[in-house]
Amino acid sequence: MQIRTLFFVIIFGAIGALAALNWEAFNTPTALWLGVATVQAPLGLVMLGLTGALTFYFLVCILYLQSSVMLEARRHAKELQNSRELEASRFSELHRFIEEEIQAVAKQDAEAQSVLLQRLDKLDTGVVSAVEQSGNTLAAYIGELEDRLERGGNTITPNRPV
């Protein structure tokens, strides 16, 4: 129980106990001046009635304030929920965008890899043909040298400095 509620119950109980213990004094009629006329009425009951009316008024004010606070809190909760849903949709949209970008990058990577492999194949073919041509040229030079050796019988001497 909150301290304010406890305080209210204690004061309300004290007023009730005071009225119960002094009921005869509360019921004793007295002349009351109302500003325009004088009336015979029990002052205790009038004051007790006014205290009850004041208590009722404050309870109505408290209920009104509490309900307005609850409605405001509900409105804020709905706004917060809408914000969360909006953020969730933005997050899912960002997730989808990132996935699309990753797929596009993967596709570009695959295309680049394909182009690179084609170039490597062309280079490999070029290197193989260059090696074959070099081999053929070397074989032709060797064949020519053998022919010269067989025809002339000249020995090949290395170049010596003179």
Q: 52-63 pLDDT, tens per residue?
A: 899 899 989 999
Domain ranges for the chain, please list them: 3-125
- Within 13 Å and on the Cβ side, how many CA atoms surround 155? 2
Q: Say yes or no to pLDDT of 34 above 70.
A: yes
pLDDT at position 95? 93
Closest C-alpha to 56, from 77, 69, 89, 64: 64
Q: What is the pLDDT of residues 7-28, one digit of tens each?
A: 988 988 998 898 889 888 888 8
pTM exceeds 0.85: no
Specify the range with the lowest mean pLDDT, choosing from 56-70, 98-112, 148-162. Answer: 148-162
